[in-house]
């Protein structure tokens, strides 16, 4: 058993580990243009704007523009940056990070837990799609960054009203009840197959690996879920399977399923399935993070 648990631990580390891009130091700046796509004057003006905004609201907004993610995952890197910089006040969690990776053509608005109610995932997506992406496609990165920051500030203040220049996104076409129904359907299907995997003995491990891309993609597509959903599946499934396997009920279910499978094979029935999935989510006068926390809220996009 100890050897098997060690194998599971190493397997989990392998699944979630990857080359991690280093997080830069904050250096008392709100605007970090490491890709050098903004003018010096543009950086200075944006830095000043964000300082004035923080002084009047206590909300902390920071911008990080990198040349590339260097193979890292956008959402994971964004969360690491926000957590290291500790954007937002500790008792308010009112920080926001705008992360842009030029060569990868990806961006993300990472929202502190205290602002998720006003700067929602849907609004963040609209800001990316309607304010930032059009300017980036025209090659005007500075205008896109400024437009994105202004959109974030307006959204937090309840003043953002987007005109969908690039069309209405999937989430915006559906009402709240429709999104809930889709979410229940998606989670219901995944839940059924996950439960089968939990009680299917050794064969359940095949379902575990088979369902990983589906847990990574479909919950986010349906309800804008964060990467924490995938982590919950990766870690929770093995733990629950081991716990169920050591209970009398779990052993009885597994034995019955194995007997049922044996009868099916003996009766001349055969079956199998194959599948796969993939996805392609200047100085500021002594600025420092206030200890805010993040829970994965926000939205990602590309151009």
Query: What string of pLDDT tens digits covers the 303 residues of the chain?
Result: 555 555 555 555 554 455 688 898 888 899 999 999 999 999 999 999 999 999 999 999 999 999 999 889 999 999 999 989 989 888 888 999 999 999 999 999 999 989 998 999 989 999 999 999 999 999 999 999 999 999 999 999 998 876 555 444 444 555 556 666 776 777 788 888 888 888 777 777 888 888 888 777 665 555 555 566 777 888 888 888 887 766 666 566 656 655 555 554 444 434 443 333 333 334 444 566 656 678 788 899 999
Cβ–Cβ under 8 Å, residues 4 and 241: no
Phi, psi angle pair for 301, to nearest 5°: -160, 180
DSSP string over 123-181: HHHHHIIIIIHHHHHTT-HHHHHHHHHHHHHHHHTT------TT---HHHHS-HHHHHH
Phi, psi angle pair for 112, to nearest 5°: -65, 155
Angle between helices 228-245 and 204-223 (to 10 degrees): 150
Give the DSSP H/E element, type plus range, for residue 166.
none
Cβ–Cβ under 8 Å, residues 298 and 126: no
Q: Tell me, which fold does domain 20-168 have in CATH?
A: Diaminopimelate Epimerase; Chain A, domain 1 (3.10.310)
Largest alpha-carbon pair distance within the chain? 77
Structural Rg of the chain based on CA atoms: 23
Domain boundary assignment for the chain? 20-168, 174-264
């Amino acid at each position: 058993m100890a050897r098997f648990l060690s194998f599971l631990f190493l397997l989990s580390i392998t699944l979630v580990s990857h080359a991690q891009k280093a997080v830069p130091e904050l250096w008392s700046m709100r605007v970090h243009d490491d890709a050098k796509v903004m003018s010096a004057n543009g950086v200075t003006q944006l830095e000043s704007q964000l300082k004035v905004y923080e002084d009047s609201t206590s909300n902390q907004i920071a911008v990080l523009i990198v040349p590339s993610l260097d193979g890292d995952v956008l959402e994971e890197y964004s969360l690491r940056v926000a957590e290291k910089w500790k954007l937002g006040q500790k008792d308010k969690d009112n920080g926001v990070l705008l992360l842009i990776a030029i060569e990868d053509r990806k961006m993300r608005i990472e929202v502190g837990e205290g602002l998720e109610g006003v700067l929602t995932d849907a609004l963040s997506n609209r800001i990316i799609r309607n304010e930032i992406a059009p300017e980036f496609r025209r090659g005007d990165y500075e205008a896109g960054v400024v437009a994105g920051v202004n959109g974030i500030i307006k959204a937090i203040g309840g003043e953002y009203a987007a005109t969908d220049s690039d069309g209405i996104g999937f989430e915006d076409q559906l009402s709240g009840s429709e999104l809930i129904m889709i979410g229940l359907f998606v989670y219901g299907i995944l839940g059924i197959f996950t439960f089968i995997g939990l009680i299917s003995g050794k064969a359940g491990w095949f379902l575990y690996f088979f369902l990983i891309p589906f847990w990574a993609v479909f919950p986010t597509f349906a309800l804008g879920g964060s990467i924490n959903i995938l982590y919950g599946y990766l870690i929770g499934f093995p733990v629950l399977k081991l716990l169920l396997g050591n209970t009398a009920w779990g052993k009885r279910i597994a034995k019955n399923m194995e007997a049922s499978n044996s009868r099916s094979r003996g009766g001349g029935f055969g079956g199998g399935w194959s599948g796969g999935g993939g996805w392609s989510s200047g100085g500021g006068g002594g600025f420092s993070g206030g200890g805010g926390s993040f829970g994965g809220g926000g939205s990602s996009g590309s151009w």
